[in-house]
Amino acid sequence: MNYLTYLPVWDKLNKSQQDTLKNSAVKRKFKKTEILHNESADCTGLILVISGQLRAFTISDDGREITMYRLFERDICLFSASCIMNSIQFDITIAAEKDSEVLVIPSEVYKSIMEVSAPLANYTNEVMASRFSDVMWLIDQVMWKSFDKRLAEFILNESNIEGTDILKITHETIGNHLGNPREVVTRMLKYFVNERLILLSRGTIEIIDKVGLEKITE
Amino acid sequence: MNYLTYLPVWDKLNKSQQDTLKNSAVKRKFKKTEILHNESADCTGLILVISGQLRAFTISDDGREITMYRLFERDICLFSASCIMNSIQFDITIAAEKDSEVLVIPSEVYKSIMEVSAPLANYTNEVMASRFSDVMWLIDQVMWKSFDKRLAEFILNESNIEGTDILKITHETIGNHLGNPREVVTRMLKYFVNERLILLSRGTIEIIDKVGLEKITE
């Protein structure tokens, strides 16, 4: 199985470029919680997810983490290969959230093809723009508007009020309480699900990590 | 004068691509504080700065602004042309900070060339990576670590202690006080200069907007 066909532009590469990628890419397995790439590592290579789930995050000086984005099957991570571009002047850490299998493409190989292939360069642009959008959303909602705090507080309050960890409430109602559109509530609740703080099912929100929610409100 | 030569990859475009760009780019002038592009505008086009200074920022629901990055002579702004990529899913506002002259390149023209030109696509990648790095720095320093608060507090305290708005102190010393490397202090001080809160000269920091600094510490 050639997992490189997961690249949407695979068919737009010529035979020689395809062969170069095939001969250099290496399959690797990572256990849940294992670190694939850390901030100090220079250039691990591009990571193409075959199966499992990865998390990209930064770590503060005092050890706090913040999730920038997640990577699922067929997703590719550029920032584990920051040396492919001079202008990538930041570092992230990537860890396996589930047992994962990935394909690592050496940075210099990818770079050499990207420099001559408009399709690969444009695909790389789209990947970066997509991550950029994730991060802008994070700035907007989590950091700047502190909507995460307000939502966590609201959930904890409701739980206290109702005397249960399973809340029967719609996203729309929460939005009305907090003055935010329903979609914003839904997106942040999904973020909480990813952070394993709550579970969502039709019409209910179940708190599974009260301490985690309380930490957010601090 | 052909300002399109400000594009570092100009010479790597073919004659027909160069002509297409030349014939479509439009020179425009903006007065200080004028808005070039706002969040609701769909696709103003790529903005290449000929002279002056622009600021890219987002606005919260309650009207607060945060500067994402600044654009100087020869800089180009992609995000005023978000339609060139499907994956750009966020909006920014761009305003002139000084009287500015810019070249607006229509999005569809730029896109059509980028799709076939590896040099232009790779240049676009570098521009995006550079802005991404700015934003990651902002997350890291301003929002997450709240270093802006700590630094503003420190400057105000020192000013109170010394009884003057002109502080004689090195960036290194401040770094030692706050437990941050000198470069981080310098970078944040320059951010404060850009925000017109302080003036920097050799060995001194002059507070020019005390209220602004106090707002940051809130």
Q: pLDDT digit string (tens) for A149-176? A: 889 988 998 898 888 999 999 998 887 7
Which of B13, B88, B91, B93 should be substituted to probe chain A, the one whose Cβ sees the most A Cβ atoms within 10 Å? B88
Together in a domain, A46 and A26: yes
Q: pTM for this one? A: 0.73
Examine the domain organization and report whether B33 and B45 are in the same domain.
yes
The pLDDT score that the predictor gives to residue A179 is: 67
Decide which of B29 and B42 is more confident: B29
Residues A8 and A87 in one domain: yes
Residue carrying the six token digits 């309480």: A177
User: B65 with B122, same domain?
Assistant: yes
Residue in chain B lying closest to A88 (CA): B129
Nearest chain A residue to B133 by CA distance is A89
The Cα A113–Cα B121 span in angstroms is 13
* Least confident piece of the model among A96-105, A164-173, B116-125, B143-152: B143-152
Residue among B9, B93, B122, B127 with most chain A CBs within 10 A, to mutate: B122
What average pLDDT score do residues B110-120 get?
Answer: 96
Tens-binned pLDDT, residue by residue, of chain A (218 aa): 899 999 999 999 999 999 999 999 999 999 998 999 988 777 889 999 999 999 888 877 666 667 788 899 999 999 898 888 888 888 889 999 889 999 999 999 999 999 999 999 999 999 999 999 888 877 766 555 567 888 998 899 889 888 899 999 999 888 777 766 788 788 889 889 988 999 999 889 999 999 999 998 87
Selection from B167, B160, B205, B158 nearest residue B186 by Cα? B205
> Is residue B130 domain-shared with residue B165, that is, in the same domain?
no
Same domain as B11, residue B113? yes
Say whether both A113 and A17 belong to one domain.
yes
pLDDT tens digits, A5-32: 999 999 999 999 999 999 999 999 999 9
pLDDT of residue B173: 82
Computed on alpha carbons and rounded to an integer, the radius of gyration of chain B in Å comes to 20
**Of A143, A172, A200, which residue sits at a domain end?**
A143
Contact criterion met (CB < 8 Å) for B130 and A66: no
CATH code of residue B195? 1.10.10.10
Looking at the structure, do residues B53 and B113 belong to the same domain, yes or no?
yes
Q: Which of A143, A173, A206 is the last residue of a domain?
A: A143
Do residues B111 and B206 share a domain?
no
Contact A129 B87 (CB under 8 A): yes
Residues A79 and A132 both lie in one domain: yes
Structure tokens belonging to residue A1: 């199985």
Q: What is the ipTM of this complex?
A: 0.72
Same domain, B69 and B154: no
- Evaluate whether B67 touches B195 at the Cβ level (below 8 Å): yes
Closest CA to B115 of A15, A18, A120: A120
Last residue of a domain, one of A78, A110, A143: A143
Domain residue limits at B202: 146-217
For residue B120, the domain's CATH number is: 2.60.120.10
State how many domains chain A has. Answer: 2
Residues A67, A45 within the same domain:
yes
